[in-house]
Amino acid sequence: MKRILFILFVFTFCSYAQAKKSPHGSDFRIDCAVCHNTDEWKKIKPDGFNHRKTRFPLTGHHKQVSCATCHTDLSFKMKDIACASCHRDVHENTLGNDCARCHNTSSWLIADVRSIHRKAGFPLMGMHASIDCNRCHKGGSGQRYELLPNDCFSCHKDDYYNAKNPDHVAARYSKDCNQCHGQNALFWSGTFNHNFFPLQGGHVLDCDACHKSPDYKGLSPDCYSCHKDDYDNTTTPPHAASGFSTDCKTCHSIISWKPATYDHDKLNFPIYSGTHMGQWSNCNDCHTNSSNLGIFTCTNCHEHNKTRMDNKHRKVSDYVYNSANCYSCHPRGKSEDD
């Protein structure tokens, strides 16, 4: 019975209040009892009005502020629920009006700057993850964060022009820094793609070991151009005296000088195949002058065949029984007619 009387009282009171013109305006359709009670009109029920049913649910710090902080009059009308309608934009519109992209209602502090940067197209990695924001965003107020170009050169122009080891300008290096430098790096040390001349084995060196000029140009990929002294000074076997090819790759690999693999059968004379296979013990059997492997002898082994060879070559003009003539007629060893 009391509840019915209370409802009738509130209804009567609200009807009377509306008749007297409600301070909330004629468009305010919420029952007075939702927010007010009979003990004291100005005392508002703390759990009365359900803000979750509006376009602006109260979360975080918005739960703690007084209604009058946002609703400046008793009509409780809100034309704009955007953050900027209540909060001054300290970033001076350099980041747009969507405050929720970086902030939340619990705190103005930014929880995950890296995520924001990643969404903006410039992930913070390596050295970029540890430097102060104002190193790149140099707005006058300290809180202006204008969108910056994503290419490295726009920020590192001075680094490019001042680099001397190597000299980027003289070498006409690309201004796309990512070709040599990575965003994950903590230092400028580059990772230049040297696939045109693989840096393997003995070639894993500091750049300056080969590149003597500041522009890192002028080098030939030919081994001999760098290893002439090695060629000239090698005595076992003597490369220069023996007339070895200056194409080092004939015997050596780019990874190491040793082991050397000389294809005697293909390049000179078959000793691992044909009639001479197994007929020798070491190089000196044919190359009796160890200081010059260009000198060889056939008659050292074939001396006992001289009479037979003389008889066999009676009808051959210009026949002379010596090593040079043997080789000129039999460059691949024993002929079919022998």
Q: Is 6 in the same domain as 76?
A: yes
Per-residue pLDDT band at 234 (split at 50, 70, 90):
very high
Q: Is 175 in the same domain as 144?
A: no
Whole-model pTM over 0.75:
no
Between 49 and 141, where is the model more confident? 49
Q: Is 108 in the same domain as 158?
A: no
328-338 as b/e: b if 16+ CB within 10 A: eeeeebeeeee
Per-residue pLDDT band at 336 (split at 50, 70, 90):
very low
Per-residue pLDDT band at 12 (split at 50, 70, 90):
low
Number of other residues whose CB lies within 10 A of the CB of residue 133:
15
Per-residue pLDDT band at 159 (split at 50, 70, 90):
very high
User: Tens of pLDDT along 297-306?
Assistant: 988 887 767 8
User: Tens of pLDDT along 160-204?
Assistant: 999 988 888 988 888 998 888 877 777 777 777 788 888 888 888
Is 46 part of any domain? yes
**What domain range includes position 32?**
2-81
Between 16 and 37, where is the model more confident? 37
Is 107 part of any domain? yes
Give the whole-number percent of the chain exceeding pLDDT 70. Answer: 91
Is 279 part of any domain? yes
Is 155 part of any domain? yes
Question: Among the three residues 192, 219, 246, which one is the final residue of a domain in this structure?
Answer: 219
Count up the domains in the chain and report the number: 5
Is 336 part of any domain? no
What mean pLDDT comes out for the span 121-140? 82
Is 334 part of any domain? no
Average pLDDT, the chain: 83
For 31-93, the DSSP string reads -GGGT--SS-TT---TT-S-GGGSSS---GGGGTS-HHHH--STT---S--SGGGTS--TTTT
Is 168 part of any domain? yes
| pLDDT the model gives residue 338 | 47
User: Tens of pLDDT along 239-283?
Assistant: 999 889 999 999 998 888 888 888 999 888 999 998 899 888 888
